[in-house]
């Protein structure tokens, strides 16, 4: 089976270039990239005015399976991924059972292949049961296909445990993804510490809760030489610490979520539990700082931290609601609307943070549209504006604070290993 | 009054606040009569739904409703389906379905009252939600101040103690500044919320600065568990550094009055001689609480035809 | 809808004469001023009650207690209103039990205000008798209530409005009939 992607602009995020070329896909590979291709019998995808990008990778999602299938399954989560333009996702291990053994990693991979939507790269737990005491069997999980290790959502409290985890992960050349948060500083906090929290009467989470652990993990990574990836950076202080560490040569990378560069703590006024997320939405100054971090390369990756929760779990008192919000089906639009359109980054630069950069962090093959490359491709209409309608999400959950937002820049088709998923203007 | 719910003073206009305070005066007359009942809210039902133990606020609301001839019914969290895991929204819907016109909600979590407004059609009165607001307490404080000082504009009001956890302080800050008072808050740095200056408050970590020349002093209750939580070193030291005693009160104006939302820890945040002294309006606050709550229930439930839902 | 003045019923002098006559009638009917108290219904009943008390004082040489009553909380139409009537303080600083209470109002119309006023008075105590004095009785009663003292009986249609203007509130003394012009009765 052949697909001819015709008339579009091919993005090379590594080189930062845009070229008007046609792309011919046969079965699961790209076989030809040049101007003016004609191919008899091929399905033609008219991409005039559109960007043809290597497939997007969201390196931070929660697919909830096994254990929380009422929030999301691997099938629904990967369908949402494809709908959002992602050809691959990295799935966090805070499932039930926790992805801390070969068996769970293999289960996740198997369910992903049955679903046959986006690729799923499992992330294994750093410690057994995310408890933060004993190391999980990283070697076995690595063999089974884990691409990184993380205790996302349950930070490794003990510096000693984190140090040993890094020593182990270094042996496999696998990064540790650190959710940086000092629980004694969070201390039951619900949102960013500041005027909004004071007015709402919600307990604040100081910026230092994140920054002290970023500092700790940077020092440990520097000492051990383990690749550290700081998940969902949210504060100006974290950006500064990572920038300085990179200058010193610490093997660190970092990611930011769309909600942390689009929204501030003020989104919570009115107690919107869909804006309750961890780390919390921060101040305007923090948003400015993460945008600068994205612009100067301090922050390498944009990832959604897609965290589905059922409606009834969010329709409760703010204190009782779980942290987390959806991201897979809004990330691309938010990146184009809030990063590309205002000129924080060019389209190829922004797409690098969604393709080649996460691939490098996770040690995956370099995403590119070259003859012979795997046909993982995302076609984007950078000018199409659409309103976010959570009722149309393919995710099982609806917990987004972006409902009603008008976003410019929408995925039009997602091709995973030559299998094409196409969307009309109304969404599927 | 053009509001459907009373959630807090942050979003109330000066006009609405003034209307409530003006209405509380005639209501207070009813409480002082032999026959403490008017037929005004005959046929209306007021449900008090309390997720925190609070004898006085609950009793105050229930009496306010009864003096206006409304029927009252109470739901206490400990003895209800709440312990069986019913959600707040389901509880609200259930109470509304039984025909309650007003739900008076006390809840340990901020935003609980606002949450209820999104899922029911009845009037919601916030009787204290977490660290957020306690509007009727602030209104009764303002009414008490007005009775004695005839104005709030231009007064210096000092609020002392655990500002961080105090919904009373927040509601008073909104209300008093809207009516033109100069509000000073003072407490230990570990018990001061971030950013209050941006709301027009003067924030101090020593009580003397707040008390200097004050017309009104509001001493807040110190929850005794704050020591266990490590927020203050000891109650003894707290009393020494922040307690309202005669010596400190002498810094305020000679005609300064003392308020306390109760229940008091005599000897912790306020000494007995100040609490029971001639400048204390603490007993009067309790009476005024009923009057102000009558005013609120009356203004919320009467004249429904033309109100806009602003909350 | 707007109101247009149709006719003047009483001018300043006419009102004064009517008040003097009512004062005499009150004294005559009650054989003096023993146990007599006047209670004006807010708002326009208040200055009328004060004036009646002044006249009684002039005639009899005795001072009659005057109170003011706000009947809002006793109205029977509160749930139907689409606005909040302003609540005023009731000022009755004397016991009403075993007294002859003369309620004073500007206009007697449906009788519902009087009913509310009687309930309000009886919540304050147990008067020996309650009487009613009004400047204008315009008819159209909806309750079995009548006035004991009337300044002027004025037959009206329900479309019309009777406006008693009092110097203390309106800057002049006179009584006029207004007509509603336009739709939306």
Residue C170 lies in a domain: no
pLDDT in tens, A65-108: 999 999 999 999 999 999 999 999 999 999 999 999 999 999 99
Which stretch of DSSP H or E encloses residue B133?
none
Count CB-CB contacts under 10 A for residue B56. Answer: 12
* A317/B89 touch (CB, cutoff 8 Å), yes or no: no
Q: What is the DSSP letter of C63?
A: P
**Nearest-CA neighbor of A365 among A171, A147, A149?**
A147
User: Tokens in use for A166?
Assistant: 């890094």
User: Which residues of chain B does C74 touch, with a Cβ-Cβ cutoff of 8 Å?
Assistant: 38-40
If you average pLDDT over residues A19-26, what whole number do you get? 97
Residue that is written with structure tokens 């009942």 in the block: B37
Residue that is written with structure tokens 């290993």 in the block: A417
* DSSP β-bridge partners for residue B45: B71
**Helix boundaries (H) for A34-101:** 74-83
Instruction: Give me the active site residues of A, please.
Output: 305
Contact B76, B98 (CB under 8 A): no
**Nearest-CA neighbor of A255 among A237, A232, A277, A239?**
A232
User: How does strand A419-422 pair with strand A406-416?
Assistant: antiparallel
Q: What is the pLDDT of residue B78?
A: 64
Which stretch of DSSP H or E encloses residue A211?
helix A208-224
* A315/B196 touch (CB, cutoff 8 Å), yes or no: no
* B33/C123 touch (CB, cutoff 8 Å), yes or no: yes
Q: What is the DSSP letter of A366?
A: P
Band of the pLDDT at B310, cuts 50, 70, 90? very low
* C79/B30 touch (CB, cutoff 8 Å), yes or no: no
Rounded CA-CA distance B81/A166 in Å is: 49
User: Tokens in use for B220?
Assistant: 């807040």
Which domain does C22 fall in, by range? 12-77+85-160
Kindly report the nearest CA distance between residue B85 and chain A, in angstroms: 12
Using CB atoms within 10 A of its CB, is residue C85 exposed (0-12), middle (13-18) or buried (19+)? middle
Measured CB to CB, residues of chain C less than 8 Å from chain B are 70, 73-74, 78-90, 119-120, 123-125
Superfamily of domain covering A2-51+372-422:
Urease, subunit C, domain 1 (2.30.40.10)
Rounded CA-CA distance B70/B289 in Å is: 17
Number of structural domains found in chain C: 1
* DSSP β-bridge partners for residue A420: A415
Which of C79, C95, C119 to mutate against chain B (most B CBs within 10 Å)? C79
Rounded CA-CA distance A266/A199 in Å is: 11
**Helix boundaries (H) for A319-419:** 331-335, 347-352, 356-362
Q: What is the CATH number of the domain that holds C156?
A: 3.40.50.2020
CA dihedral of residues B124, B128, B134, B136 (deg, nearest 10): 60
Contact A327, A61 (CB under 8 A): yes
Decide if B182 touches A, using CB distance below 8 A. Answer: no
Question: How far is it between the farthest Cα atoms of chain B?
Answer: 55
Please, which residues have CB within 8 angstroms of residue C104's CB and are 6 or more apart in sequence?
Answer: C38, C39, C40, C41, C45, C48, C49, C52, C133, C134
Residue C127 lies in a domain: yes
Give average pLDDT by consecutive 10-residue segment, chain C, 185 residues: 90 96 97 97 95 97 97 89 86 96 97 96 96 96 96 93 94 94 63
**Nearest-CA neighbor of B134 among B30, B210, B220?**
B220
- Which chain B residue has its CA at the smallest distance from C92's CA? B29
User: Which residues of chain C does B32 touch, with a Cβ-Cβ cutoff of 8 Å?
Assistant: none
* C83/B303 touch (CB, cutoff 8 Å), yes or no: yes
Kindly report the nearest CA distance between residue C78 and chain B, in angstroms: 6
Residue C6 lies in a domain: no
Residue C177 lies in a domain: no
Q: CA of C139: how far to CAs of A188, A201, C17, C71, in Å?
A: 70, 59, 22, 21
Chains that touch A (3 or more CB pairs under 8 A): B
Rounded CA-CA distance A294/C77 in Å is: 65
Q: Above pLDDT 90, what percent of chain A?
A: 98
- For A56-362, CATH number? 3.20.20.140
- Which chain C residue has its CA at the smallest distance from B27's CA? C89
C11 Cα distance to chain centroid: 18
Rounded CA-CA distance B22/B34 in Å is: 22
Query: What b/e string do you get for A47-67 counting C-beta neighbours within 10 Å, with b at 16 or more?
Result: beebbbbbbbbbbbbbbbbbe
Residue B309: pLDDT above 50?
no
Rounded CA-CA distance B69/C74 in Å is: 11
User: Which residues of chain C does B38 touch, with a Cβ-Cβ cutoff of 8 Å?
Assistant: 73-74, 120, 123
* DSSP β-bridge partners for residue B303: none
Rounded CA-CA distance B248/B261 in Å is: 19
User: Which residues of chain B does A312 touch, with a Cβ-Cβ cutoff of 8 Å?
Assistant: 87
Rounded CA-CA distance A270/A249 in Å is: 44
**Mean of per-residue pLDDT scores for chain A:** 96
Rounded CA-CA distance A280/A192 in Å is: 5
Angle at B30 between CA B65 and CA B35, to 5 degrees: 90
Q: What is the pLDDT of residue C183?
A: 60
Please, which residues have CB within 8 angstroms of residue B30's CB and are 6 or more apart in sequence?
Answer: B36, B37, B38, B67, B294, C73
If you average pLDDT over residues A310-324, what whole number do you get? 97
Band of the pLDDT at B79, cuts 50, 70, 90? low
Which stretch of DSSP H or E encloses residue B218?
strand B216-219
Rounded CA-CA distance A169/C173 in Å is: 97
Q: Which of C84, C89, C124 sits opposite B26 (nearest CB)?
A: C89
User: Tokens in use for A406?
Assistant: 């008008």
Q: Where are the domains of chain A?
A: 2-51+372-422, 56-362
Contact A297, B68 (CB under 8 A): no
Contact B52, B128 (CB under 8 A): yes
Please, which residues have CB within 8 angstroms of residue A137's CB and are 6 or more apart in sequence?
Answer: A100, A101, A102
pLDDT in tens, B243-292: 999 999 999 999 999 999 989 999 999 999 999 999 999 999 999 999 99
Q: What is the pLDDT of residue C78?
A: 85
Decide if B36 touches C, using CB distance below 8 A. Answer: no
Q: Quick check: helix, strand or coil at residue A257?
A: coil
* B298/C73 touch (CB, cutoff 8 Å), yes or no: yes
pLDDT in tens, A341-383: 999 999 999 999 999 999 999 999 999 999 999 999 999 999 9
Residue B225: pLDDT above 90?
no
- Which chain C residue has its CA at the smallest distance from B295's CA? C87
Residue C171 lies in a domain: no
Contact B256, B297 (CB under 8 A): no
pTM for the structure as a whole: 0.92
Q: What is the DSSP letter of B125?
A: E
Q: Which of C74, C83, C90 sits opposite B29 (nearest CB)?
A: C90
Rounded CA-CA distance B174/B189 in Å is: 21
- Which chain A residue has its CA at the smallest distance from B9's CA? A199
Band of the pLDDT at A61, cuts 50, 70, 90? very high
- Which chain B residue has its CA at the smallest distance from A193's CA? B194
User: Which residues of chain B does A275 touch, with a Cβ-Cβ cutoff of 8 Å?
Assistant: none
Q: Above pLDDT 70, what percent of chain B?
A: 95
Rounded CA-CA distance A321/A324 in Å is: 9
Please, what sign has the CA dihedral across residues C128, C130, C131, C133? positive
């Amino acid at each position: 089976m052949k697909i001819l992607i015709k008339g579009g602009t091919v993005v090379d995020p590594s080189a930062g270039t845009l070229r008007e070329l046609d792309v011919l896909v046969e079965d699961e590979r790209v076989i030809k990239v040049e101007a003016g291709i004609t191919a008899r019998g091929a399905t033609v995808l008219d991409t005039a005015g559109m960007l043809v990008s290597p497939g997007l990778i969201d390196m931070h999602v929660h697919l909830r399976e096994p254990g929380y299938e009422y929030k999301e399954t691997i099938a629904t989560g990967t369908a949402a991924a494809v709908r959002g333009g992602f050809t691959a996702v990295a799935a966090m291990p805070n499932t039930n059972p926790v992805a801390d053994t070969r068996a769970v990693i293999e289960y996740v991979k198997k369910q992903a292949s049955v679903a046959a939507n986006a690729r799923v790269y499992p992330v294994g737990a750093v410690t057994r049961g995310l408890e933060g005491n004993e190391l999980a069997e990283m070697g076995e999980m690595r063999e089974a296909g884990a691409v990184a290790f993380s205790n996302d959502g349950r930070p490794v409290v003990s510096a000693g445990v984190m140090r040993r985890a890094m020593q182990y992960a270094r042996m496999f050349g696998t990064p540790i993804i650190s959710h940086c948060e000092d629980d004694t500083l969070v201390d039951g906090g619900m949102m960013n510490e500041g005027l909004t929290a004071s007015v709402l009467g919600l307990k604040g989470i100081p910026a230092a809760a994140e920054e002290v652990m970023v500092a700790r993990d940077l020092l440990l990574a520097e000492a051990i030489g383990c690749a550290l990836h700081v998940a969902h950076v949210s504060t100006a202080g974290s950006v500064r610490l990572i920038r300085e560490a990179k200058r010193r040569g610490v093997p660190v990378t970092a990611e930011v979520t769309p909600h942390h560069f689009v929204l501030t703590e003020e989104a919570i006024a009115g107690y919107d539990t869909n804006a309750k997320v961890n780390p919390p939405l921060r101040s305007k100054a923090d948003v400015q700082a993460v945008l600068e971090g994205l612009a100067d390369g301090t922050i390498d990756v944009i990832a959604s931290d897609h965290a589905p929760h059922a409606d009834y779990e969010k329709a409760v008192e703010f204190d009782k609601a779980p942290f987390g919000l959806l991201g897979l089906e809004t990330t691309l639009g938010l990146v184009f609307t809030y990063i590309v359109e205002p000129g924080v980054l060019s389209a190829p630069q922004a797409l690098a943070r969604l393709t080649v950069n996460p691939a490098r962090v996770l040690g995956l093959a370099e995403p590119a549209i070259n003859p012979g490359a795997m046909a993982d491709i995302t076609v984007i209409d950078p000018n199409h504006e659409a309103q976010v309608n959570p009722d149309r999400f393919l995710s099982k959950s609806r917990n987004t604070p972006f409902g009603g937002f008008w976003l410019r820049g929408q995925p039009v088709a997602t091709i995973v290993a030559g299998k094409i998923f196409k969307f009309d203007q109304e969404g599927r | 009054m053009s509001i459907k719910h009373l959630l807090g003073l942050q979003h109330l206009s000066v006009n609405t606040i003034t209307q409530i305070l003006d209405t509380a005066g005639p209501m207070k007359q009813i409480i002082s009569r032999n026959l403490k009942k008017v037929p005004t809210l005959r046929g209306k039902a007021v449900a008090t739904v309390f997720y925190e133990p609070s004898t006085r606020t609950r009793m105050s609301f229930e009496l306010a409703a009864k003096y206006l001839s409304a029927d009252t019914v109470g739901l206490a969290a400990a003895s209800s389906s709440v312990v069986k895991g019913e959600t707040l929204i389901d509880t609200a819907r259930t109470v509304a379905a039984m025909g309650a016109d007003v739900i008076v909600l006390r809840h340990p979590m901020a935003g609980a009252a606002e949450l209820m407004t999104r899922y029911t059609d009845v009037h919601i009165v916030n009787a204290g939600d977490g660290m957020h607001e306690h509007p009727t307490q602030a209104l009764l404080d303002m009414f008490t101040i007005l009775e004695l000082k005839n104005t709030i504009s231009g007064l210096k009001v000092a609020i002392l103690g655990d500002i961080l956890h105090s919904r009373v302080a927040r509601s008073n800050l909104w209300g008093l500044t809207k009516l033109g008072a100069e509000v000073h808050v003072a407490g230990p740095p570990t018990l001061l919320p971030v950013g209050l200056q941006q709301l027009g408050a003067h924030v101090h970590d020593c009580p003397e600065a707040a008390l200097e020349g004050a017309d009104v002093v509001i001493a807040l209750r110190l929850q005794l568990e704050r020591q266990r939580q490590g927020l203050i070193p000891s109650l003894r030291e707290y009393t020494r550094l922040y307690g309202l005693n005669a010596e400190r009160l002498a810094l305020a104006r000679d005609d300064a009055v003392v308020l306390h939302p109760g229940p008091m820890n005599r000897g912790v945040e306020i000494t007995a001689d100040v609490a029971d002294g001639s400048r204390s309006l603490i007993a009067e606050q309790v009476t005024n609480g009923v009057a102000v709550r009558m005013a609120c229930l009356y203004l919320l439930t009467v004249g429904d035809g033309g109100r806009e839902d602003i909350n | 809808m707007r109101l247009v003045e149709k006719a003047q019923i009483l001018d300043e002098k006419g009102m004064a004469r009517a008040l003097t006559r009512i004062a005499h009638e009150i004294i005559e009917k009650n054989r003096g001023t023993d146990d007599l108290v006047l209670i004006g219904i807010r708002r326009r009943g208040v200055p009328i009650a004060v004036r009646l008390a002044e006249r009684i004082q002039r005639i009899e040489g005795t001072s009659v207690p005057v109170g003011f009553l706000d009947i809002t909380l006793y109205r029977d139409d509160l749930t139907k209103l689409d606005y909040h009537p302003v609540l005023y303080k009731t000022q009755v600083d004397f016991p009403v039990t075993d007294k002859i209470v003369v309620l004073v109002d500007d206009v007697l119309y449906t009788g519902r205000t009087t009913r509310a006023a009687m309930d309000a008075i009886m919540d304050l105590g147990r008067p020996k008798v309650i009487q009613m004095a009004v400047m204008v009785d315009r008819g159209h009663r909806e309750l079995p209530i009548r006035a004991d003292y009337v300044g002027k009986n004025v037959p009206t249609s329900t479309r019309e409005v009777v406006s008693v203007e009092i110097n203390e509130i309106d800057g002049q003394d006179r009584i006029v009939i207004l007509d509603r012009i336009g739709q939306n009765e």
